[in-house]
Amino acid sequence: MKIVYCIPATCNSGGMERVLARKANYLAELGHELIFITTDQRGRQPFFELHPSIVSYDLGIDYDANNGSGLLSKLTQYPRKHRLHRQRLTELLLKLKADIVISMFGDDASFLPSIQDGSHKVLEYHFAKYKRLQYGRRGLWRLIDRLRTKWDERTVRPFDSFVVLTEEDAAAWGALPNLRVIPNPLPFYSDSPSDCKARQLLAMGRYDDQKHFDLLINLWAQLEPEYPEWRLVIAGDGKLRPELSAQVKCLGLKSVELMRPTHQVQELYRASSTYVMTSRYEGLPMVLIEAQQMGLPIVSFACPCGPRDVITDGVDGYLLEVGDHAGFIQALRRLMDSEAERQRMGAAARIASERYDLEHIMKSWLALFEELTRAKL
């Protein structure tokens, strides 16, 4: 099959880009023809290694140039870029004549099903339905977030298949005839998990409002005096790095490291003994299933969506209701105080991660592709 993925860019270090590389490389190894179409690559190299047979095209739209601009600027510039995006993507797809075209719910999602290139259209969502409402914005922006959430409901319907990551999110979308759940696969398998002996907590992700690392730092500030031999590593980068750095300095924390993104993620998990997550919202957090594969117990808030699907409270980690800061701290104390408890939960986490084995997940994707192409015949 000829399979096209539409994604803003492959140069980012996020979980969506990592998962896409993993799945596309698997499909390419099977002999399928894989093509990436981006809008904001701007000549940058993919962050994750791609199979040499994968071909990439960038449409040169540069939506990112509007980030940080005011509402008026976005309202005037976005429609022009959107029209250009539609024109260029249509021209390219008509030339490629793909069997399957998959949108990662970028700016193309609103018009991709209407492009008559003979392909089946799939929409793949790596967040959760109500993610926009988790931004916590006020005033006019709050109204826009509500309207965009309602618009998303209309956007997903014309696709031949709409794929979400969790049962929790599927319930939020309701009884859509094209809806199915396919979790993300593990991006790696390791024979050398953590022994859970290191006195290090780990968190990873973009430094933005979604990950709520400012809350994590504040919670850690309450624990640091009790655990002087422990440290907290937050690996990632983003627009909030200056604010987070200033927060660490203001609180006088000596045991917090704001680490830059790294390709050596297995080593980072192995050097830690507990994974922590304070996100406001997620889709299916890759870091959680990676941490499970590396044998780490997890302490996380039950934000929508993902943690409830991944973590079994009290078995392979602790799942706290959003806002239960005292419970979060107490869960960390229980694990930091007991190496045996960390190892028990870490072993259970490793078993739980088998649900996300690459072969298992890709069978679901291949079955979907075969259904669509058979229907075409």
In this prediction, residue 77 carries a pLDDT of: 86
Is the CB of residue 125 less than 8 Å from the CB of residue 283?
yes
CA dihedral (166, 16, 212, 226) positive or negative: positive
Average pLDDT of the segment spanning 71-80: 77
* Beta strands at 100-103 and 2-6: parallel, antiparallel or unpaired: parallel
pLDDT band at 336 (very low <50, low <70, confident <90, very high): very high
Q: Is the pLDDT of residue 132 over 80?
A: no
Q: Is the pLDDT of residue 228 over 60?
A: yes
In the predicted structure, residue 355 carries a pLDDT above the cut 60: yes
Cα 48 from Cα 11, distance rounded (Å): 8
Q: What does pTM read for this prediction?
A: 0.81
Rounded average pLDDT over 235-263:
96
Task: Tell me which of 247 and 74 has the higher pLDDT.
Answer: 247
Instruction: Look up residue 273 and give its two tokens.
Output: 């003994």
Q: What confidence category does residue 84 fall into, taking pLDDT thresholds of 50, 70 and 90?
A: very high
Q: Write down the mean pLDDT value for the chain.
A: 93
E-assigned strand segments in 212-342? 231-235, 256-259, 274-277, 298-301, 317-320
CA 328, CA 317: separation in Å to the nearest integer?
11
| DSSP structure class, residue 313 | B
Q: How confident is the model at residue 377 (pLDDT cuts 50, 70, 90)?
A: low
Digit-coded pLDDT (tens) for 149-176: 788 899 999 999 999 999 999 999 999 9
Cβ neighbours of residue 284 under 8 Å, at least 6 residues apart? 126, 165, 166, 183, 184, 305, 306, 309, 310
pLDDT of residue 278 exceeding 70: yes
Per-residue pLDDT band for 135 (boundaries 50, 70, 90) equals low
Q: Residue 10 has what pLDDT? A: 96
Q: Where are the domains of the chain?
A: 2-185+357-376, 200-355
224 burial class (0-12, 13-18, 19+ CB within 10 angstroms)?
middle
- pLDDT for position 369: 97
pLDDT tier for residue 177 given thresholds of 50, 70 and 90: very high
Cis peptide before 305 (omega within 30 of 0): yes
Report whether pLDDT(297) > 70. Answer: yes
Enter the DSSP assignment of 142. H
What average pLDDT score do residues 236-257 get? 97
β-strand partners of 299: 276, 318
Q: What does each C-alpha distance from 103 to 112, 126, 231 come to in angstroms?
A: 8, 11, 40
pLDDT at 361: 97
2-185+357-376 and 200-355 share one fold: yes
* CATH top class, domain 2-185+357-376: alpha beta
Count CB neighbours of 95 within 10 A. 10
Q: Is the model's pLDDT at 324 over the cut of 80?
A: yes
Residue 313 pLDDT: 98
**CATH of range 200-355; options 3.40.50.1260, 3.40.50.2000, 2.40.30.60, 3.10.580.10:** 3.40.50.2000
One-letter identity of residue 166: T
Contact 319, 307 (CB under 8 A): yes
User: Mapped to the 3 state alphabet, what secondary structure does 13-78 carry?
Assistant: CCHHHHHHHHHHHHHHHCCCEEEEEECCCCCCCCCCCCCCCCEEEECCCCHHHHCCCCHHHHHHHH
Please report the pLDDT score of residue 127 as a whole number: 83
What string of DSSP letters covers 170-211? HHHH-S-TTEEE-PPPPS---SS---S-S-EEEEES-SSGGG
Confidence of residue 68 (pLDDT cuts 50, 70, 90): low
**Residues making up the chain, counted from first to last:** 377
